[in-house]
Amino acid sequence: MRLGLIGLGRIGAFHAETLSNLDAVETLVVADAVPAATASVAEKFGAEPADSPEALIASGVDGVVIAAATAAHAPLLRAAVDAGIPAFCEKPLSAVLADAVSVAQHVEDSGVAVQVGYPRRFDPAYLAAYDARVAGDLGWVHTVRSTTLDPAPAPRGYIETSGGIFRDCSVHDFDTVRWITGQEPVEVYATGHAHGDPMFAEFGDVATAQTLITFADGSTGVVSNTRYNPRGYDVRLEVHGTGDSVAAGWSDQAPLRNLEPGSTWPSAQPWGFFMDRLTDAFRAELTAFTELVSGARTESPCTVQDALAVAWMAEAADLSLKEHRPVTIDEVK
């Protein structure tokens, strides 16, 4: 197939390498707002350069991956579905919640297939946890814990425009707990602090946050996030039910120092970066998108409605943090 990729920054260039190595992708067409980036990536991965995102969409691609800056997600997604082109869009749909709602409705009305990028849905251990819940092996799931701990803060410019820890980081955990449990969240209570670099307080953000989530069936989720985990990049999951408990992310590269006497786990070099930790998941999610484009997969593995549900959770968590109280999802819809 002929696949387009718009946006060639850090994650876009990473996707270019992945897509160029997928058997299903015969021709990769790339475009970026910076012409030098387009030329560089095209040369490195043997891709076809396009003069602009608009030119790429008009070039007859079978599908398009949108990895541009957040502000460009919604307009590019609208342009793709208006052209009848299936699209993969990195999160979020938009930094502005009202715009995210609008573009999600636009996608739904178009009937064009769209997949949103939440790669943990494709991590083998996370998938196994999901399958265990669906199979009934866990009984009634009463508690789920999801963790994302970054080794160090991103650059100041990134933090300033990120939308805050809940919209930038916690959303991956919010999507995970909702997907794993199969339950809709009804209320969140969030707390956090800005200890560390003064920029967090300056931007009205926090460096560490905890979010307690109540689901429709009464079960609970706990999400832990920080920008300061110098031991490494820590992504883990625990799911506890009346029938069994399972975990993901507890590999030999887990960035923890185990103090149990006699234990040698973990013994390998800790994960240092999200691209290393989730390489297989990124490849699997893009493979799934090629299947969506070809028709081999008939349903999107992560829909715009899934992305909206996560956006509402982030909005509620942000309001909860600011007002020091539980916030229902209905309150922010």
C-beta separation of 313 from 213 below 8 A: yes
pLDDT at 268: 95
Q: Residue 177 carries which side chain, given as an amino acid letter?
A: V
pLDDT class of 210 with cuts at 50, 70, 90: very high
Helix (H) or strand (E) holding 43: helix 35-45
Number of domains in the chain: 2
Contacts 24+ apart (CB under 8 A), 33-42: 33/68, 33/69, 33/72, 34/8, 37/8, 37/9, 37/13, 38/8, 40/8, 41/8, 41/12, 41/13, 41/16
Write out the DSSP string of 261-324.
Answer: TT---S-SPPP-SHHHHTHHHHHHHHHHHHHHHHTS--S-SS-HHHHHHHHHHHHHHHHHHHHT
Asked if residue 92 is part of any domain, the answer here is: yes
CA atoms within 13 A on the CB side of 262: 0
Give first-to-last CA distance, the chain, whole Å.
Answer: 39
CATH number assigned to the domain comprising residue 315:
3.30.360.10
Q: What's the mean pLDDT in 326-332? A: 98
pLDDT at 137: 99
Asked if residue 81 is part of any domain, the answer here is: yes
Asked if residue 9 is part of any domain, the answer here is: yes
pLDDT at 120: 98
Number of other CB atoms surrounding residue 78 within 10 Å: 16
217/96 same-domain check = no
Residue that terminates a domain, selected from 95, 112, 129:
112
81/158 same-domain check = no
Share of the chain above pLDDT 90, in %: 98
Residue that terminates a domain, selected from 112, 129, 162:
112
45/27 same-domain check = yes
Asked if residue 292 is part of any domain, the answer here is: no
Which tokens belong to 139?
A: 């009984």
pLDDT at 252: 95
Residue that terminates a domain, selected from 77, 92, 112:
112
pLDDT class of 5 with cuts at 50, 70, 90: very high
pLDDT at 109: 98
Asked if residue 234 is part of any domain, the answer here is: yes
pLDDT at 209: 99
C-alpha 180: how far from chain center: 14
CA distance 287 to 224: 29
Asked if residue 182 is part of any domain, the answer here is: yes
Q: What's the mean pLDDT in 9-33? A: 97
Residues 264-317: pLDDT tens digits?
Answer: 999 999 999 898 999 999 999 999 999 999 999 999 999 999 999 999 999 999
pLDDT at 290: 99
238/267 same-domain check = yes
Asked if residue 189 is part of any domain, the answer here is: yes
Residues 165-185: pLDDT tens digits?
Answer: 999 999 999 999 999 999 999
Which tokens belong to 53?
A: 């995102």
Asked if residue 297 is part of any domain, the answer here is: no
271/129 same-domain check = yes
| Summary mean pLDDT of the chain | 97
CATH number assigned to the domain comprising residue 100:
3.40.50.720
Range of the domain at 45: 2-112
92/164 same-domain check = no
CA distance 296 to 293: 8
177/316 same-domain check = yes
321/211 same-domain check = yes
Location of structure tokens 């070809």: 294
Which tokens belong to 301?
A: 């593995």
Residues 187-200: pLDDT tens digits?
Answer: 999 999 999 999 99
Residues 69-127: pLDDT tens digits?
Answer: 999 999 999 999 999 999 999 999 999 999 999 999 999 999 999 999 999 999 999 99
237/254 same-domain check = yes
104/179 same-domain check = no
